[in-house]
């Protein structure tokens, strides 16, 4: 194992509440019922795919032009809410784990479907922690397609089998496995037993990586 590729939202930080508030604003404006259970279905997928799920819930059809405008409006609301992020919002144990992984000689990357990844990392003070960032700005197909992780490995100059993905969403686990990578999970994916390693916290990651290296 030569590298660890981290999903962003739900792994290094949690912005679910901001996504929820932004999407609920859009759904309410369309007269579509939206709650936290529906919001959970949007985790790990792209903005446009999320919008399609909401429109399907409301059995509402709109033009492609209207979809683009709705997605743009949602992102404006979400970005405004992200201004509240600070380094205090980093997941517990994440910085210490990242530091120890780097000290152990591993390369580190972020693999996220979000186009807001650079902004979020900047707000968290993590912008300079990673050797590569693969996100919604450089992929054409979001998770569960493996592109985001394959590009991260390419940026690191490594083969898929040399990379371990850290995920919290089932769509991300599917993407990792499709990319030919092992996956260590936290959150909902870990509770579902979806990963090759299922962790209670990100702090367990170092033990997993070191044990594989023994």
> Whole-model pTM above 0.75?
yes
Return the DSSP state at 128.
Answer: T
What pLDDT sits at residue 43?
A: 79
Domain of residue 49, CATH code: 1.10.150.240
What pLDDT sits at residue 214?
A: 52
> Does residue 64 sit in the same domain as residue 96?
no
Q: Are strands 3-6 and 163-167 parallel, antiparallel or unpaired?
A: parallel
What pLDDT sits at residue 151?
A: 98
Mean of pLDDT over the chain? 94
Say whether the peptide bond before residue 109 is cis (omega within 30 degrees of 0). Answer: no
Question: Among positive and negative, which fits the CA dihedral 107, 98, 15, 76?
Answer: negative
Given a cut of 70, the residues of the chain with pLDDT beneath it are 212-214
Query: pLDDT by residue (tens digit) across 168-185?
Result: 999 999 999 999 999 999
Tokens representing 191 are: 């509770």
Q: Is 7 a catalytic residue?
A: yes
The catalytic residue among 9, 16, 188, 196 is 9
CA dihedral defined by 148, 152, 154, 160, rounded to 10 degrees?
A: -80
What pLDDT sits at residue 16?
A: 84
- How many domains are contained in the chain? 2
> Does residue 122 sit in the same domain as residue 141?
yes
> Does residue 178 sit in the same domain as residue 205?
yes
CA dihedral defined by 43, 46, 52, 55, rounded to 10 degrees?
A: 50
Domain of residue 146, CATH code: 3.40.50.1000
Domain enclosing residue 157, as ranges: 3-14+87-213
> Does residue 98 sit in the same domain as residue 8?
yes
As a residue count, the chain comes to: 214
């Amino acid at each position: 194992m030569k590298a660890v590729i981290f999903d962003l939202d739900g792994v290094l930080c949690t912005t679910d509440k901001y996504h929820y508030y932004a999407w609920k604003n859009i759904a309410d404006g369309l007269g579509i019922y939206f709650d936290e259970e529906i919001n959970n279905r949007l985790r790990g997928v792209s903005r446009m795919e999320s919008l399609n799920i909401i429109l399907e819930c409301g059995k509402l059809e709109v033009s492609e032009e209207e979809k683009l405008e709705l997605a743009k409006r949602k992102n404006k609301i979400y970005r405004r809410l992200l201004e509240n992020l600070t380094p205090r919002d980093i997941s517990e144990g994440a910085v210490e784990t990242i530091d120890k992984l780097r000290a152990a000689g591993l390369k580190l990357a972020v693999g996220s479907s979000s186009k807001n990844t650079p902004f979020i990392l900047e707000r968290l003070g993590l912008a300079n922690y990673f050797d590569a960032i693969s996100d919604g700005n450089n992929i054409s197909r979001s998770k569960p397609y493996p592109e985001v992780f394959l590009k991260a490995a390419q940026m690191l100059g490594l083969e898929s089998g040399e990379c371990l993905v850290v995920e919290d969403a089932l769509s991300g686990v599917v993407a990792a496995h499709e990319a030919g990578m092992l996956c260590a999970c936290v959150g909902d994916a870990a509770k579902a037993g979806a990963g090759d390693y299922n962790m209670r916290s990100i702090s367990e990651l170092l033990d997993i990586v070191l044990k594989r290296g023994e």
